Amino acid sequence: METSTEGAAQPDSNPAAAVDPPVPAGPVEAVIETAVETATVTAPTAIPPSALSPSRASDFMQCPLLYRFRVIDRLPEKPSEAATRGTLVHAVLERLFDAPAAERTAPRAKSLIPGQWDRLRESRPEVVELFADDPQGERLARWLGEAEQLVERWFSLEDPSRLEPAERELFVETELDSGLRLRGIIDRVDVAPTGEVRIVDYKTGKAPRPEYSEGALFQMKFYALVVWRLKNVVPRRLQLVYLGSGQVLTYDPVLADLERVERKLMALWEAIRLATETGDWRPRPTKLCGWCDHQAHCPEFGGTPPPYPLPVRAAESGGPAQGRMGPD
């Protein structure tokens, strides 16, 4: 799972709207800094994209206009039950490793769910609206029960009593020679006594069909590229744990894989740069449009995008409008 990190200096940043926060006592510099942060939170200014994460890369490949809505316009999106359940399950699996190995059991993991749900509601109050029309709590109870099933299924796929992760929810960032910054959050990093690295990502949905596995592995190869650039080590294994279907997808990358991903990301970033400068963000209709929160702003549904908040320059004649993406 990955939390978007574009435009953020720290992982899992959550710029909730604040209204007239108290000004702290202290040096003038502290007061000025607080005022600047408040202005940024209450009235965010559009800035050009400066980094790329797996989620945002996938957004642009899926639909350039969706990328614009999320990264540049930063349009709000309603929380979904599925995504919120995924966040909850990830939190439980992360916290379970705080316990001694012998105590990492399914009952203990399920007992963490209520407390992690409370923490999630405190940190992201917007998720409360998911069950605003459920006064008796029946739908919430069913939803929490589904989260329990996902957590319990994990124990049939991995044995946490035999695992000692080197990192959990690890924020990683690197800058390529081209100047492109890559960043993301890795669910789990395991390091063998021999030094071999395994990158693990939990998915609360079902595993894709084999013909779609390459798309699923894109995120993992992205992380492997970042680790290679940071540590000069090619991860031994990439592992996707699908809790929805009880399957584990693994891939053992080689250096050539990571070099191909780097070339693809550089071509993708060039396309994003051109779209940013020209304001040409074209929708790409797919079956996924039915789940998009931004239909009211999308020309494919008769909507109008918000005024473009960045300077625009004319596209060079004869040049590609969006760059090139596809097989190497």
pLDDT digits 0-9 by tens, 31-74: 333 333 333 344 457 889 999 999 999 999 999 999 999 999 99
In 3D space, the residue among 303, 153, 120 whose CA is nearest the CA of residue 243 turns out to be: 153
Give the three-state DSSP class for 78: coil
pLDDT at 211: 85
What is the rounded CA–CA span in Å between residue 169 and residue 99?
16
Q: Are 258 and 234 in contact (CB under 8 A)?
A: yes
Retrieve residue 110's tokens: 């399920």
What is the rounded CA–CA span in Å between residue 88 and residue 150?
11
Kindly give, in sequence order, each residue whose CB lies less than 8 Å from that of residue 227, ignoring residues fewer than 6 positions away.
172, 197, 199, 233, 235
pLDDT digits 0-9 by tens, 190-201: 999 999 999 999
Q: Are 311 and 275 in contact (CB under 8 A)?
A: no
Give the DSSP H or E segment for 13: none
What is the rounded CA–CA span in Å between residue 179 and residue 39?
29
What string of DSSP letters covers 283-322? ----GGGGG-TTGGG-GGGT--PPPP-S---PPPTTS-SS
By DSSP bridging, strand 167-175 and strand 51-52 are unpaired
In 3D space, the residue among 82, 239, 93, 83 whose CA is nearest the CA of residue 152 turns out to be: 93
pLDDT at 98: 98
Distances (CA, A) of 294 to 74, 93, 197, 298: 11, 32, 39, 6
**Structural domains for the chain:** 51-275 (3.90.320.10)
Task: Assess whether pLDDT exceeds 70 at residue 13.
Answer: no
In 3D space, the residue among 292, 266, 281, 295 whose CA is nearest the CA of residue 46 turns out to be: 281
Q: Are 185 and 12 in contact (CB under 8 A)?
A: yes
Retrieve residue 49's tokens: 């994209």
**Average pLDDT along the chain:** 86
Q: Which residue has the tokens 């709207």?
A: 17
pLDDT digits 0-9 by tens, 258-316: 999 999 999 999 999 999 999 999 999 999 999 999 999 999 999 999 999 999 987 55
Give the three-state DSSP class for 124: coil
pLDDT at 210: 87
Q: How many other C-beta atoms are found inside a 10 Å radius of the C-beta of residue 14?
A: 8
Q: How many other C-beta atoms are found inside a 10 Å radius of the C-beta of residue 290?
A: 7
pLDDT digits 0-9 by tens, 25-42: 333 333 333 333 333 344
Choose between 233 and 322: higher pLDDT. 233
pLDDT at 21: 33
Task: Assess whether pLDDT exceeds 50 at residue 219.
Answer: yes
Give the DSSP H or E segment for 290: none
